[in-house]
Amino acid sequence: MITISIENNSQQPIYIQIYEYIKREILSGQLQAPAKLPSTRSLAAHLEVSRTTVETAYEQLVAEGYVEAKEKRGYFVIPITHLQQFHSNTTSTVTVPAPPIPEQARLFDFNPDMIDTEHFPYSIWKSLSKTQINSADNFVAGEHFGDYRLRQAIARYLRGSRGVQCSPEYVVVGAGLDHLLQMLCLVFERRTPVAMEDPGYPSARQVLLANGYDVIDIPLHNYSFDTQALARSDADICYVTPSHQFPLGFVMPVSRRQELLRWADEKAGRYIIEDDHDSEFRYKGRPIPSLHSLDTKNKVIYIGTFSKAVSPAIRTSYMVLPETLFSQYKNLCGGFSCPVPRFIQSLLTDFIDGGYFEKHLNRMRKIYKGKHDFMLQKIKEYFPEERAEISGDHAGLYIIFHYKGALSEQEIAIRAKKAGILLHPLRNYYASLPVDYKPAYLLGFANLNTDMIAQGIRRLSEQVFV
Amino acid sequence: MITISIENNSQQPIYIQIYEYIKREILSGQLQAPAKLPSTRSLAAHLEVSRTTVETAYEQLVAEGYVEAKEKRGYFVIPITHLQQFHSNTTSTVTVPAPPIPEQARLFDFNPDMIDTEHFPYSIWKSLSKTQINSADNFVAGEHFGDYRLRQAIARYLRGSRGVQCSPEYVVVGAGLDHLLQMLCLVFERRTPVAMEDPGYPSARQVLLANGYDVIDIPLHNYSFDTQALARSDADICYVTPSHQFPLGFVMPVSRRQELLRWADEKAGRYIIEDDHDSEFRYKGRPIPSLHSLDTKNKVIYIGTFSKAVSPAIRTSYMVLPETLFSQYKNLCGGFSCPVPRFIQSLLTDFIDGGYFEKHLNRMRKIYKGKHDFMLQKIKEYFPEERAEISGDHAGLYIIFHYKGALSEQEIAIRAKKAGILLHPLRNYYASLPVDYKPAYLLGFANLNTDMIAQGIRRLSEQVFV
């Protein structure tokens, strides 16, 4: 039995205290694989806390890959070798469902790339813009890697919420993943192929190919990144989405992360590009610490974006370069101008520094969780288990709907069109489709209100996935 | 003698009627090289107009390369072969000197890249921004090549003021020359070297090199682009600044433009990149028509920018792709997002469509001409002819100051530093310095008011170029 001194008056929720304790035990080697954790029932009784509290703690450990849940047998510690120290100081997320928003629904686009534009704090944005729109400073060319004030704000945010320890010096502001990846393409050795997950982000693939790189697709069999396949390949650069795999939606477990870091460490010039595209939105447990926070060898290039948290139309993203790569980058690309207009940079900085960004994130997390939960509930309501399965839930702005019925994808496409529904097949994100591929669809919920979700899922059930 | 039916009641100024008449005569072959034009005195008497009017017309013909002025001998038609039809409908510019702006001067930076930020119509910009900053549309991802409304506004502006005939479909909005050139680098055959002018724009050079292209530097001996050297090279892409060579400031004559177009036409896949970086600002005669306006074979990629006309910090530029290249570009780069935030795109569109952009340009042209003329006057005042010479005047936001005294560049640098003056040596823009290079400096005036210009030039005369 594990004895944890629970502090009831602590600022930390009890489930986090339990989670932190067990994680420390695993990291320090006190708890080793294949140790079995006490059952949730017995630990709850032992600590005199509710069983849900223990379950929440265990689920976070599972999500981060420290522990695995075996059906009907319990929770087991996963073997972890060559462990490095976490230095995450992430904050917990509060989850309250959002009130349903009534609105007339017409065409349903379950677009996974859309965001909610209804709940943006326009009045704050407008009032902040009033001082910046008039400032002559915003009409003078700025720093090439982005304005220092913005880079400071980003570094602070990353330290606080993503466990990314970095100096503002190494933050480079760019115009979206496309742009930053294209800049990185100038720095890497062009003869080196780049590995990426399959399925993965089609734009990233297109940028790499357009820049003359060979792309090695690493298949994600059983929702697991094949580091062996990576090691066998010629790739020295690897592009991954560890905190929320795009598009499959799973979390790369800590053991796999360690393998990836070890792979990078085996050879000079090897780098991992971590695309942390939507880590702001996690609806269960604590945020997953970044891969960057595990990296002690300067091997991870961290890329983040304001596309999901503010707007894709603001075209502002950033990367944190390892010191080793930074001087190379500076030599090659130091003369290029930062593509983000200074007005936008200044406005965004004021938005972050004024605390509005954090407030907005917390609010949107609740709203998105409300929509997410509602969509799951509706799917459960309209689809019997034998007709559909869900994956990639509890994070991001879409879920994956796996169709288990008899219709072919062509038949589904025809029916969806007739029903006025835009579907986004998982198939489109694959470079090579696995032989056992089954029809699956990304269902975005961010841009839909509950009425639309309810109607949309009903239409899916009655007219499409029959 | 040339007989032109001058229409005194025409909307067209008389000098333009004379210029247009002679240009037509040359283009139609009625006037052929080495024909001598009537003297300004005799034509003025013949047409009963002022001599200045005829001189202005002749100077425009000289600026565009139809005619050359030989000292004490008069004006002669230049041989032009394989002429293609102009379709310019450019408007004339009114030139009134701006009132001097009093301000305390401290450190003088004669930065050629700076603009005047004092006379921007901030109140209009702010009032236009009020409707756009709140619009949910500006929070949704836009079109990949830029918002169609903006591309329409750009196409209209280019047709009206630069003689660039294009459909909005072929306009691609980007984030500055760096970015657009980098996108073009993805489309060209990477093994092909790219030719560019030497001296030239260092950022363009850096982008090409960073993208793995060999750069062939075409020397500009005697202020003339060496098309023979281009033809001898392996280059299939040529990057030029024909309307106002950067940094030397001269206009590529029409015969040279024709040679360049013929070179491109000789081989499939050959393209000319025309960087029309600051053509909005010309203080003498009419604007120089773009190279694009001469191109009938779909060989010119026209690049323009709002950096000089609005602000470099707005990071908005555009290119017009030839139809032949457009489909290639679409295939390769069609999936990349436009890097300009939608708010900026919408604001800029309203600024153009509302007529404010044109008004601003006309106002700034007057203000810049005032500063330009004032700087020339001050240089004349403080520097005897044997100590300094000016070139690259009558256009853009800087002039080139050629020092003819005995000091070395090192001595000048030390003196300038001591005098609190930032100088921008022409040397920095060369890839290979010509053997007969003499110390010369770009003197930007855009960001200085007349007081600062007067003080700065005096300091240059008394403390630096002694």
Rounded Cα gap, residues A83 and A86, in angstroms: 9
Chain A closest-CA separation from residue B275 CA (Å): 17
**If contacts are CB pairs under 8 Å, which of residues 303-322 in chain A contact chain B?**
311-316
Of the candidates B125, B139, B140, which has its C-beta nearest A133's C-beta? B125
pLDDT in tens, B369-395: 999 999 999 999 999 999 999 999 899
Contact criterion met (CB < 8 Å) for B126 and A125: no
In chain A, the residue whose alpha carbon lies closest to the alpha carbon of B146 is A313
Contact criterion met (CB < 8 Å) for A335 and B206: yes
* CB proximity A138 to B under 8 Å: yes
Residue with tokens 């002039």: B399
Chain A closest-CA separation from residue B300 CA (Å): 22
Contact criterion met (CB < 8 Å) for A136 and B120: yes
CA angle A179, A183, A185 (to 5 degrees): 115
Work out the average pLDDT over B40-62.
87
> According to the model, what pLDDT value does residue B106 have?
52
Contact criterion met (CB < 8 Å) for A315 and B335: no
> According to the model, what pLDDT value does residue B81 have?
59
**If contacts are CB pairs under 8 Å, which of residues 116-135 in chain B contact chain A?**
117-118, 120, 122, 125-126, 129-130, 133-134
Of the candidates A122, A130, A210, which has its C-beta nearest B186's C-beta? A210
CA angle B203, B206, B211 (to 5 degrees): 130
Rounded Cα gap, residues A166 and B293, in angstroms: 50
Whether the complex's predicted ipTM surpasses the cut of 0.95: no
Contact criterion met (CB < 8 Å) for A113 and B141: yes
Nearest by Cα to A215 from A178, A435, A228, A230: A230
Contact criterion met (CB below 8 Å) for A313 and B139: yes
* CB proximity A141 to B under 8 Å: yes
Cβ-Cβ contacts under 8 Å, B335 against chain A: 202-203, 206
Rounded Cα gap, residues A61 and B200, in angstroms: 58
Cβ-Cβ contacts under 8 Å, B311 against chain A: 138-140
pLDDT in tens, B10-46: 777 888 888 888 888 887 777 888 888 999 998 888 8
**If contacts are CB pairs under 8 Å, which of residues 5-64 in chain B contact chain A?**
none
**If contacts are CB pairs under 8 Å, which of residues 286-305 in chain B contact chain A?**
none
Residues linked to residue A197 through DSSP beta bridges, in sequence order: A218
Q: Which helix (H) or strand (E) holds B442?
A: strand B440-444
Rounded Cα gap, residues A114 and A125, in angstroms: 20
Rounded Cα gap, residues A378 and B393, in angstroms: 71
Of the candidates A126, A182, A314, which has its C-beta nearest B182's C-beta? A182
Chain B closest-CA separation from residue A428 CA (Å): 14
Sign of the Cα pseudo-torsion (B143, B147, B152, B155, in order): negative
Q: Percent of chain B scored above 90 by pLDDT? A: 69
What is the value of pTM for the model shown? 0.81
CA angle B452, B458, B459 (to 5 degrees): 85
Cβ-Cβ contacts under 8 Å, A341 against chain B: 313-316, 340-341, 344
In chain B, the residue whose alpha carbon lies closest to the alpha carbon of A119 is B136
CA-based R_g, chain B, Å: 23
Chain B closest-CA separation from residue A121 CA (Å): 9
| Helix, coil or strand: residue A219 | strand
Cβ-Cβ contacts under 8 Å, B130 against chain A: 126
Q: What are phi and psi of A325, to 5 degrees?
A: -85, -25
Of the candidates A126, A129, A186, which has its C-beta nearest B211's C-beta? A186
Measure CA of the first residue to CA of the last residue in chain B; give whole Å. Answer: 49
Residues 6+ apart with CB under 8 A from A180: A172, A174, A303, A317, A318, A319
Contact criterion met (CB < 8 Å) for A315 and B337: yes
The mean pLDDT of chain B is 89
CA dihedral in degrees (A277, A142, A171, A200; nearest 10)? 30
Single-letter amino acid code for the residue at B141: A
Rounded Cα gap, residues A464 and B292, in angstroms: 52
Rounded Cα gap, residues B423 and A372, in angstroms: 60
Mean pLDDT (10-residue bins), chain A, 466 residues: 77 83 82 86 87 87 82 84 39 34 56 93 94 90 95 94 91 96 92 94 94 95 93 97 94 92 95 94 84 94 97 97 93 93 97 95 94 96 94 94 95 92 95 94 95 94 93
Q: Residues for chain B: how many in total? A: 466
Rounded Cα gap, residues A91 and A365, in angstroms: 13
State how beta strands B424-425 and B421-422 pair.
unpaired
Chain A closest-CA separation from residue B459 CA (Å): 25
pLDDT in tens, B120-166: 999 999 999 998 998 989 999 999 999 999 999 999 999 988 889 99
Of the candidates B122, B316, B341, which has its C-beta nearest A134's C-beta? B122
Of the candidates B126, B190, B203, which has its C-beta nearest A336's C-beta? B203
Nearest by Cα to A158 from A293, A271, A260, A65: A293
* CB proximity A115 to B under 8 Å: yes
Cβ-Cβ contacts under 8 Å, A332 against chain B: 206, 210
Strand-by-strand arrangement of the B424-425 sheet: B388-391, B398-403, B440-444, B424-425
Residue with tokens 């806390």: A49
> According to the model, what pLDDT value does residue B279 have?
86
In chain B, the residue whose alpha carbon lies closest to the alpha carbon of A212 is B186
pLDDT of B83 over the 70 cut: no
pLDDT of B226 over the 50 cut: yes
Residues 6+ apart with CB under 8 A from B415: B407, B463, B464, B466
Chain A closest-CA separation from residue B171 CA (Å): 18
Contact criterion met (CB below 8 Å) for B274 and B301: yes
Rounded Cα gap, residues B44 and B33, in angstroms: 22
In chain B, the residue whose alpha carbon lies closest to the alpha carbon of A140 is B313
Of the candidates A113, A212, A340, which has its C-beta nearest B315's C-beta? A340
> According to the model, what pLDDT value does residue A89 have?
34
Chain A closest-CA separation from residue B381 CA (Å): 31
* CB proximity B208 to A under 8 Å: no
* CB neighbourhood size of B313 (10 A): 26
Contact criterion met (CB < 8 Å) for A315 and B332: no
Residues linked to residue B444 through DSSP beta bridges, in sequence order: B398
Chain A closest-CA separation from residue B270 CA (Å): 20
Separation in Å, CA A164 to CA A89, A161, A228: 9, 8, 27
Sign of the Cα pseudo-torsion (B233, B235, B236, B241, in order): negative
Q: Comparing B7 with A440, which gets the higher pLDDT?
A: A440
Residue with tokens 């704000």: A153
Interface mutation vs chain A, best among B124, B315, B333, B397, most A CBs within 10 Å: B315
Single-letter amino acid code for the residue at B54: V
**If contacts are CB pairs under 8 Å, which of residues 178-207 in chain A contact chain B?**
178-179, 182, 186, 190, 202-203, 206-207
Task: Tally helices (H) and strands (E) across chain A.
Answer: 14, 15
Instruction: Average the pLDDT over each of A420-424, B30-34, B304-308, B398-402 and give the range with the smallest value.
Output: B30-34
CA dihedral in degrees (A149, A150, A153, A159; nearest 10)? -120
Residue with tokens 């080139």: B400
Cβ-Cβ contacts under 8 Å, B212 against chain A: 190, 212
> According to the model, what pLDDT value does residue B284 have?
84
Of the candidates A130, A175, A203, which has its C-beta nearest B175's C-beta? A175
List strand residue ranges (DSSP E) for B93-141, in order.
108-109
CA A63 to chain CA mean position, Å? 13
Label residue A52 exposed, middle or buried (CB < 10 Å: 0-12, 13-18, 19+).
Answer: exposed
Separation in Å, CA A440 to CA A403, A407, A417, A419, A465: 6, 12, 16, 18, 11
Contact criterion met (CB below 8 Å) for B172 and B319: yes
Number of CB pairs, chain A paired with chain B, less than 8 A apart = 147
Q: Which helix (H) or strand (E) holds A297?
A: none
* CB proximity B348 to A under 8 Å: no
Of the candidates A210, A314, A338, which has its C-beta nearest B332's C-beta? A210
Nearest by Cα to B235 from B286, B269, B279: B269
